[in-house]
Chains A and B, each alone.
Chain A
Amino acid sequence: MEERKYDVVVLGGGPGGYGGAIHAAIKGLRVCLVEKDRMGGTCLNWGCFPTKCLLRDAQLFSEVRESRWVEGELKINFQKVIERKDNVINSLVQGIETVLLNRGVTILEGDGKFLGSRDVIVEKKDGSEVKLNAERFIIATGARLDFSPFRPDGEKILTSRDALTLTKLPKSIAVIGCGRRGVEFGSFFRSLGCNVVLVEKTERIVPQEDIEISHRLRRILTNMGIKVIVNGEAVGAEISSEGGVVLTLLTPKGENKIEVEKALIPGKRVGNTQNLGLELLGITTKDHFIEVNTKSETSVSGIYATGDVNGLGFFAHKALTEGISVVDHFTDNSLKINTLLIPRCTYTSPEIGSIGLTQMEAERREEEFAIGKFPMGASGRAATLNQTQGVMKIISGKKFGEILGVHILAPQATELISLASLAMRNEMGIEELKATMYGHPTLSEAFFESALDIGGEAIHFLKGNVEG
Chain B
Amino acid sequence: MAKVITVPRLGQTMETATVTTWMKQEGDIVNKGEVICIIETDKASFDVEAPQSGVLVKVMAEEGSVLPVGEVLAVIAQTGESFDLEKLIQQAKADLETPEAVKPAEARTVVRGPLPPKEKRELKVSPLARRIAEEKGVTLEDIIGTGPGGSITKEDVLRAWEQKGSIPTQPLIVSKKIPLKGIRKLIADRMSLSWRTAPRVTQVMEVDMSEAIRFREECWSDWEAKGVRVSINDILIKAVSLALMENLEMNSSLKENEIEVYSNVNMGIAVSAERGLIVPVLRNAHQKTLLEIARESAILIQKVREGKIGPDELSFGTFTITNIGTFGIDLFTPIINPPESAILGVGKLEKKVKVVDEDKIAIRSVMNLCLVFDHRVVDGAPAARFLGRVKEILERPVQLKELN
Residues of chain A touching chain B, judged by Cβ–Cβ distance below 8 Å, are 335-336, 399-402, 425-429, 431-432
Contact = CB atoms under 8 A, between A and B. Distances in A.
A400 B146 contact: no
Contacts of A429: 127-128, 131
Nearest to B157: A427
Give the interface size class of chain B.
10 to 19
A335 B148 contact: yes
B151 interface: yes
B146 A428 contact: no
A400 B126 contact: no
Contacts of B151: 426
Contacts of A399: 135
B116 interface: no
A361 to B, nearest CB: 18
A93 to B, nearest CB: 31
Contacts of B153: 427
B146 A427 contact: no
A426 B147 CA distance: 8
B80 to A, nearest CB: 42
Contact of B132 (A400, A426, A428): A400
Contacts of B129: 427
A336 B156 CA distance: 12
A334 to B, nearest CB: 10
B154 interface: yes
Given A400-B128, A427-B153, A431-B127, 17 more contacts: A399-B135, A400-B131, A400-B132, A402-B131, A402-B154, A426-B126, A426-B147, A427-B126, A427-B127, A427-B128, A427-B129, A427-B154, A428-B126, A428-B127, A429-B127, A429-B131, A432-B127
Contacts of A427: 126-129, 147, 153-154
Interface in B115-157: 126-129, 131-132, 135, 146-148, 151, 153-154
Contacts of A432: 127
B154 A426 contact: no
Nearest to A401: B131
Given A427-B153, A427-B154, A402 B128 contact: yes
A429 B154 CA distance: 12
A336 B147 CA distance: 9
A253 to B, nearest CB: 48
A392 B315 CA distance: 64
A402 B129 CA distance: 10
Nearest to A338: B155
A425 B131 CA distance: 16
B124 to A, nearest CB: 10
A308 to B, nearest CB: 25
Contacts of A335: 146-148
A335 B132 CA distance: 21
Nearest to B132: A400
Contacts of B132: 400
Nearest to B155: A336
A277 B351 CA distance: 83
B146 A336 contact: yes
Contacts of A431: 127
Interface in B77-103: none
A402 B128 CA distance: 6
A432 B127 CA distance: 8
A345 B147 CA distance: 24
A144 B127 CA distance: 41
Interface string B214-253: 0000000000000000000000000000000000000000
A426 B132 CA distance: 14
Contacts of B126: 426-428
B159 to A, nearest CB: 13
B141 to A, nearest CB: 18
A450 to B, nearest CB: 18
B128 A428 contact: yes
A396 B154 CA distance: 15
A426 B146 CA distance: 11
Contacts of B146: 335-336
Contacts of B128: 400, 402, 427-429
Nearest to A432: B127
A401 B130 CA distance: 12
Nearest to A400: B131
Listed from nearest, the 10 A-B pairs whose CB atoms lie closest are A427-B126, A427-B128, A402-B128, A400-B131, A428-B127, A432-B127, A427-B154, A426-B126, A429-B128, A400-B128
A336 B132 CA distance: 21
A426 B131 contact: no
Contacts of A400: 128, 131-132, 135
19 contacts: A335-B146, A335-B148, A336-B146, A400-B128, A402-B128, A402-B131, A402-B154, A425-B148, A426-B126, A426-B148, A427-B126, A427-B127, A427-B128, A427-B147, A427-B154, A428-B127, A429-B127, A429-B128, A432-B127
A339 B129 CA distance: 20
Nearest to B153: A427
Nearest to B151: A426
Nearest to B126: A427
A443 to B, nearest CB: 24
Interface string B236-276: 00000000000000000000000000000000000000000
Contacts of A401: 131
- Select the residue from A336, A402, A426 with max chain B CB neighbours within 10 A: A426
Nearest to B130: A427
- Select the residue from A336, A427, A429 with max chain B CB neighbours within 10 A: A427
A429 B151 CA distance: 16
A431 B126 CA distance: 13
B397 to A, nearest CB: 56
A126 to B, nearest CB: 45
A419 to B, nearest CB: 15
A431 B130 CA distance: 13
A400 B129 CA distance: 10
Contacts of A425: 148
B7 to A, nearest CB: 40
A402 B153 CA distance: 12
Contacts of A428: 126-128
A168 to B, nearest CB: 49
A400 B153 CA distance: 14
- Select the residue from A402, A431, A432 with max chain B CB neighbours within 10 A: A402
A108 B111 CA distance: 75
A341 B151 CA distance: 17
